Structure 1
Amino acid sequence: MEITAYSRPFHLSSKTKDLIVFIICLICIFLFLTSAYDKIAEHSKFVRGLSKVAYIGSYAELIGWLVPITEVAISLLLINPKTHKLGLTGFVATMVVFTAYILSMILWAEKLPCHCNLIIERLTWGQHIWFNLAFIIIATFALFLKTNISKHKH
């Protein structure tokens, strides 16, 4: 007779975990590609907004290209299941940086420029932070599932 210290009342199959990771990756891709498109399509507006921010204003042109290029590169990593872990890690790291940027703007900026797109531009700064945190949490969950899938497949 085998006795276990815990039971597994909630168990997801590898197929279900793969599907959840895939859906989360699609959502993250959508967020980053629409954001990158907006920053590229409205590049001069994006750079002009960045140039008004203390400390980074002199790097506005560089940041104006690095941000959308990073978003596209991470989206490409999120497309391929073999690079999901790297893409999700990059996504979480980038969202943490974006959230830290927003928090620093709230704390220290006299004027709060918004470089957002779609629905996000209608959010308050507090809502924007919660939005980012939600994406950080779901992407971290997908990363956890992906790591868990990899461990059980090998």
Structure 2
Amino acid sequence: MKRKIYFLICFLLVLLFSYTGLQKWMHMQKTLYNMRNQLFSRPVADTLAYGLPFVEMGVAILLIFVSTRKLGLYLSFLLLFLFTSYVAAILLGVFHRVPCSCGGIIDSLGWTAHLWLNLFFLFISLIGIRYHTIFMHETGVAEKPNQSRQY
């Protein structure tokens, strides 16, 4: 059962990061506009607008392959921790203004719903790391030897 949960977690994270990365990439003008409306300087916003889609797609790719899945899980946790911290800071009133929310499917979410969504994915990425560690400790590999590398 744990292995099924582990693969489901990896699958959900691949969907999340590939969707968000592709959305940003396919709608770069909107991504630039949204990033520039955040609380970053223009050079930082532009770097994030162009860099995040590649980082998110890279993490999704890392999660697909057995040999890179551990790194993908750790990077998923790091990205989600950073995104969640940023959203929490906005909700706590740390910044002088509340910027617009993200694009894509998340466009319809408010900041509170965005926080809960991020917390969910942050939590499952942590579970994925834990299961990966357990499987490595038990068998020396995160996958069963006869198990396909596909989901």
Give the TM-score range, shorter chain.
0.7 to 0.9
Q: How does 1:66-77 map to 2 (within 5 A)?
A: 66-77=51-62
> Which residue in 2 is equivalent to 1:50?
35
Q: How does 1:28-67 map to 2 (within 5 A)?
A: 28-67=13-52
Distance 1:109 1:36, change over 3 A: farther
64, 77, 83: which one pairs with 1:92? 77
Note the residue ranges of structure 2 that are not aligned, 5 or more in a row. 141-151
Residues 18 and 146 in structure 1, CA contact (< 8 A), matched pair in contact too: no
Offset of 1:42 from its aligned partner? 1.0
Report the residue type matching 1:110 in the other structure.
Answer: R
Report the residue type matching 1:18 in the other structure.
Answer: R
Question: Identity of paired residues, percent?
Answer: 24
TM-score by length of 1: 0.82
Note the residue ranges of structure 1 that are not aligned, 5 or more in a row. 1-15
Offset of 1:80 from its aligned partner? 0.9
2:118 paired with 1:115: no
| Alignment RMSD (CA, Å) | 1.5
TM-score by length of 2: 0.83
**Partner Cα distance (2:11, 2:76) in 1:** 12
Number of aligned pairs? 138
Residues 36 and 71 in structure 1, CA contact (< 8 A), matched pair in contact too: yes
**Partner Cα distance (1:55, 1:144) in 2:** 34
Larger radius of gyration: 1
Offset of 1:60 from its aligned partner? 1.9
2:115 paired with 1:125: no
